[in-house]
Amino acid sequence: MVIGERKPFEEITSMAEGNKKILVLGCGGCVTVCLTGGHDAVRVLSSQLRMARDKMGNPIEIIEKTVERQCDPEYVEEVHDIIPQVDAVLSMACGVGVQYMAERYMDTPVYPALNTTFVGGSKKEGYYVERCQTCGQCKLYYTGGICPIARCSKSLLNGPCGGSTKGKCEIDPQVDCAWQLIIDRLRSLNQMDRYEEIMTNNDWRTNRDGGPRTMVREDFQR
Amino acid sequence: MAEFQPTIVAFCCHYCAYGAADLAGSMRLEYPTNIRIIRLPCTGKVTPVFLLRAFEKGADGVYVAGCLDGDCHFIQGNLVAKPRVNYTKKLIQEVGLEPERLEMFNMSAAMGPRFAEVAREFTERIIALGPSPINKKYRNTSGQ
C-alpha cells in the first residue's frame, strides 16, 4: 500500500487559513489501512481544526466525508454536489488522490493533508515498512523474495558491500543488510546458483527515471 | 466573580471504574460534582475522536478510567487505551490545549475511595489550569 503521514498541524492550519467552509475528504484505500487518512483520521483532524480556529476566534465549518478511493474518477465524482458549498478541499488521500480531486474540480483549491512517503506494508498494526521502489523490473526471482533495490541502502545488485556488519547495514544499526537477508534466504531455498549469476547494470528506464509511467490494458479499452 | 467550576468528562469502563464510582456512591463518599461520567463497556472503546469531541463540546478536562493493568475484563482493552490517550495528549497540544487536561487512571471496582480521590485531584488540577479556551458557546454559563 501507499504509506502517508499527516502533515504537521501548523502546516495544515496555514493551508486552511482564509477559508470559512471546507471539505475534509478521506480515502478508504491505502491511507485507511495505514491509519492516517481514513474516516477516523478525517474526524480527528476536523475536530482539531474546529478547535484551533475557535481558539483563534475565526471559526471554520467543516464537511467531513470519506470516499472509497480518490484514485478512480467514479469515486471522485461522488462529491460533486458538496464542492460548490465549500471554499476549499483538504484531501487526506495520498498524492494521487489529491491530484485526481484537483483535476476534476478545477475551480476549487484542493490541498494535501498528508505527505505521501513510500510504498510498503505493515509489519504489525501501526508499524509500516518500505518494501518496493517501483523500479518496473522485478528481480525477486533472483533474490529469494527480498528486494535489493528497495532494501539495500545502495540498491546494489550483486551482493553486499564491505559495510555489511553482522547482518546490519553500515548506515544504521537498525537497518538489516538486504544482501545478508537475500543470501540467507537463497541458502534456505537451495537457490545459491542464482546468487552466482551476475546481474548486469540496471535498466532504469522502467523506473520513474524514464518519465511518468502509464499502464494500458488493451482488452479494457472501448 | 464566581469561582471557576470546570466541566470534566470521565470515560469509565463498566467493569472497574464505573463499579468504583458506584461503590463511592454506596460508601457516601464526597467528590466534586463537576464530573460527568460516561459509561463504556471497556476503555478499549475509547479512540482519540471521543476525547477530542469532548474538548470540542466544551469540556475543561477529560479523563479515562479503566481497570488495573493486567486486570481488564476484556483482557487488553485498557492496554490499548493507554497509548491512545497519550497520542491524544499530543493532538490536543497541537490545538493549543495543555496536555494535562487529559489523563488516564487505573483502578479496580473495589477502589471506591480511589475513584473519589481521582475525581478530587483531577478537578483541582483543572481548576488550576483554568477554563478551556475552546468553544465558549457550548459552555455551561451558570455561575460564571
**Greatest CA separation found in chain B?**
48
Beta strand B102-106 pairing with B61-66 = parallel
Contact A54 B135 (CB under 8 A): yes
Question: From the list B49, B56, B91, which residue is nearest A50 (CB)?
Answer: B56
B115 vs A175: CA distance, rounded Å: 46
- Residue B29 to residues A141, B86, B115, B119, B120, Cα–Cα distance (Å): 70, 30, 10, 11, 11
Cβ proximity of B37 and B21 under 8 Å: yes
A88 vs B20: CA distance, rounded Å: 48
In a mutational test of the B interface, the residue from A44, A46, A61, A64 whose CB has the highest number of chain B CBs within 10 Å is A44
Summarised one tens digit per residue, pLDDT across range A41-96 is: 999 999 999 999 999 999 999 999 999 999 999 999 999 999 999 999 999 999 99
The answer to whether residue B143 is domain-embedded is no
pLDDT at B3: 83
Q: Where are the domains of chain A?
A: 2-118, 133-209
Between A and B, how many residue pairs show a Cβ–Cβ distance under 8 A?
38
The answer to whether residue B96 is domain-embedded is yes
pLDDT at B140: 46
pLDDT at A48: 97
- The strand pairing partners of A129, in sequence order, are A121
Chain B residues in contact with A44 (beta carbon < 8 A):
48-49, 52, 91
The answer to whether residue B107 is domain-embedded is yes
- Which value, in Å, is the radius of gyration of the alpha carbons in chain B? 15
Q: Which three cell numbers stand for residue A49?
A: 481544526
- Residue B39 to residues A13, A92, A197, B73, B144, Cα–Cα distance (Å): 34, 32, 65, 14, 28
A205/chain B closest Cα distance in angstroms: 43
| Main-chain phi, psi angles of A121, to 5 degrees | -140, 180
**Annotation: CATH topology of A2-118:** Rossmann fold (3.40.50)
Low-confidence residues in chain A, pLDDT < 50: none
B60/chain A closest Cα distance in angstroms: 13
pLDDT at B137: 53
Question: What is the pTM (predicted TM-score) of this model?
Answer: 0.92
The answer to whether residue B65 is domain-embedded is yes
SS (H, E, C) B4-62: CCCCEEEEEECCCHHHHHHHHHHCCCCCCCCEEEEEECCHHHCCHHHHHHHHHCCCCEE
B83 vs B66: CA distance, rounded Å: 13
B56/chain A closest Cα distance in angstroms: 6
Chain A residues in contact with B57 (beta carbon < 8 A):
none
pLDDT at B136: 65
| Digitized pLDDT (tens) for each residue of chain B, 144 residues in all | 468 999 999 999 999 999 999 999 999 999 999 999 999 999 999 999 999 999 999 999 999 999 999 999 999 999 999 999 999 999 999 999 999 999 999 999 999 999 999 999 999 999 999 999 986 654 444 433
The CATH number of whichever domain residue B109 belongs to comes to: 3.40.50
pLDDT at B135: 60
Cβ proximity of A22 and A63 under 8 Å: yes
B17/chain A closest Cα distance in angstroms: 26
ipTM for the whole complex: 0.89
Question: From the list B49, B96, B133, which residue is nearest A47 (CB)?
Answer: B49
In chain B, the number of structural domains is 1
For A8, the closest chain B residue by CA position comes to B94
